[in-house]
Amino acid sequence: MLYTAYVAVCLATMPVQDCNRDTAVDWMVAPGHYDLAHCMVHGQRFASTSGIVRDGDTVKVYCKAPDQFRSAG
């Protein structure tokens, strides 16, 4: 199965366990589809080179099947 990397960027004060699509100040979808191990690495790399993440922000990468985040929530 191939996965898409979804990246939640939350305020620095947000505990990582609470950082998700609903609490994020930015929500990004990394291009491409990867096996699970490469998905996480690609998501982290995408976040670090996006220019959106500021020093101290909380970043959380989700690797899901492409259709799992289409609806709100």
Write the CB contacts of 1 (distance below 8 Å, at least 6 apart in sequence).
35, 36, 65
Calpha distance 37→68 (Å, rounded): 18
Task: Convert the pLDDT of each residue in 19-69 to its tens digit.
Answer: 999 999 999 999 999 999 899 999 999 999 999 999 999 999 999 986 776
Q: What is the pTM of this model?
A: 0.83
Q: Where are the domains of the chain?
A: 4-64
Average pLDDT over residues 8-24: 95
Q: Is 63 left (phi over 0), alpha (psi -120 to 50) or beta?
A: beta
Distances (CA, A) of 72 to 19, 31, 41, 50, 69: 15, 20, 25, 23, 7
